[in-house]
Each structure stands twice: as structure tokens, then as C-alpha cells.
């Protein structure tokens, strides 16, 4: 147990030192990092510790490990800081961010969607329609699936994951609003119009309708 804890603490120390060097600008984005022996000598630790630390940095998105070629600095901005900032946002900030992401994603979806995407959207919209005048929880769950598939049709994994996070944050507020505000059929019908614009590959119309839906 003691040996395992010592190994872990050494890896954490190595990660911290390399993060510091990245923040200080010792390495530039896209630059090939020193080899394991070089880093081990510079940091005064073993090659195995360097290797484990590099895996941690790669997992966090800071470093890209290219098999047989070495490790490269992917970004100088620690993704962990972005995650921490997102976790501290207010529900209103989460709602605002979700709407911004969706409006832009819908435009991309109109240009990039596949036939499979369209079928998935039709299925999700049909599910929403079946619960629109029924149970709030069931409807919101179906509605979130439809909106997530809209964003997924943009085929940008980073955009999809960001949207999924913020949609999850505002889910409770959506349920509360749906339970207290009368449901409007014309607002729901905008969903079908957005889907039609995406099917027609009309990006501007899709974005315009998405903003109208957000404001309604």
C-alpha cells in the first residue's frame, strides 16, 4: 500500500511540474515534447513515472501521444479549468450557453446531416408529440432527446458533449416551466419546421427557426 501511494504521489508531482512548464510557455502548441529519458533527467524522476504522467496529461487532453513518434503538446489551456468553470455556472448561464450552442449546431446540422440523422430526428419528434399533452417528465425526456439529436447531426463530438452537459444542467428548470406554463401547440410545431429546414439543407432557415423556438 505504501509503495503504491508513493508511486501515485510521484506521478502527481510529475504531472504538476509538466503542467507548470506548459503554463509558463516552455513548450509551444504542436511542439514535440522531450523524450522520456530527457524528461526523467530534467525532473529527477524515473522513466516509468514520466510515462505514467504523460498518460495522465494525454487523458486530460493536454498532450497527444503518437505511437512511434513521441508526444506533442495539444493545447496550453488545461481542459480541467474549463470543466471547473462549467460546474460553477448558474442555471441561467447554463440555459444561455445551451441556446447559443444549439442555434449554431442546427445550422451545421442542416449542412452535414445524413439520412440516418433525419430518421433519428423523426423518431424523436414522434416520441415528443406523443407526450406533448401528457406527463411533463415524459415529454421533457423526449424533448431533450430530440434537441440532442439536432446537435449530434452537426457531427462535432465536442459540440455534442458540451450541449449534453448544459442540457442536463437545465433539465430541472425545463420540467418546472413545462409544469407551470400552458403548452403552446404552435411552439411545438416549430420543432417540425426546424426538422424540415434541416432536411432541405436550409441552414439559415434552420438557425432562424431555432432562435424563434428559444425565444418563444
- How far apart (Å, rounded) are the C-alpha atoms in residues 27 and 44? 19
Q: Give the pLDDT confidence of 93-103 residue by residue, as tens digits.
A: 988 999 999 99
Q: Quote the CA–CA distance of 137 and 129 in Å, as a whole number.
A: 13
Residues 166/101, Cβ–Cβ less than 8 Å: yes
Rg of the chain over all Cα atoms, to the nearest angstrom: 23
How many angstroms separate the CA atoms of 132 and 134, rounded? 6
Which residues on adjacent β-strands are paired with residue 73?
A: 63
Burial 182-194 (b: 16+ CB within 10 A, else e): eeeeeebebbebb
Cell numbers describing residue 23: 503554463
Please tell me the total number of residues recorded for the chain in this structure. Answer: 216
CA proximity to 194, closest of 136, 158, 146: 146
pLDDT tens figures, 38-71: 999 998 889 999 999 999 998 888 899 998 889 9
Which three-class secondary structure state does DSSP give residue 141? helix
Q: Is 71 helix (H, G, I), strand (E, B) or coil?
A: strand
* DSSP 8-state assignment for residue 32: B
Q: Where residue 82 falls among pLDDT bands split at 50, 70, 90?
A: confident
pLDDT, greater one: 49 or 183: 49
Predicted pLDDT at 134: 86
Amino acid at each position: 500500500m505504501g509503495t503504491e501511494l508513493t508511486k501515485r504521489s510521484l506521478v502527481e508531482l510529475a504531472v504538476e511540474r509538466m503542467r507548470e512548464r506548459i503554463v509558463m510557455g516552455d513548450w509551444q502548441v504542436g511542439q514535440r515534447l522531450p523524450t522520456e529519458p530527457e524528461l526523467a533527467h530534467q525532473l529527477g524522476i524515473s522513466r516509468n513515472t514520466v510515462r505514467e504522467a504523460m498518460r495522465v496529461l494525454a487523458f486530460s487532453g493536454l498532450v497527444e501521444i503518437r505511437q512511434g513518434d513521441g508526444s506533442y503538446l495539444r493545447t496550453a489551456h488545461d481542459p480541467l479549468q474549463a470543466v471547473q468553470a462549467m460546474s460553477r455556472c448558474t442555471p441561467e448561464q447554463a440555459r444561455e450557453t445551451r441556446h447559443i450552442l444549439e442555434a449554431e449546431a442546427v445550422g451545421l446540422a442542416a449542412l452535414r446531416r445524413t439520412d440516418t440523422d433525419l430518421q433519428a430526428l423523426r423518431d424523436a419528434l414522434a416520441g415528443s408529440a406523443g407526450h406533448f399533452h401528457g406527463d411533463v417528465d415524459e415529454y421533457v425526456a423526449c424533448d431533450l432527446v430530440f434537441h440532442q439529436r439536432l446537435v449530434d447531426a452537426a457531427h462535432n463530438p465536442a459540440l455534442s458533449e458540451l450541449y449534453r452537459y448544459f442540457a442536463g444542467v437545465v433539465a430541472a428548470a425545463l420540467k418546472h416551466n413545462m409544469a407551470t406554463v400552458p403548452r403552446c401547440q404552435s411552439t411545438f410545431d416549430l420543432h417540425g419546421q426546424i426538422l424540415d429546414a434541416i432536411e432541405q439543407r436550409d441552414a439559415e432557415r434552420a438557425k432562424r427557426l431555432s432562435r424563434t423556438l428559444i425565444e418563444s
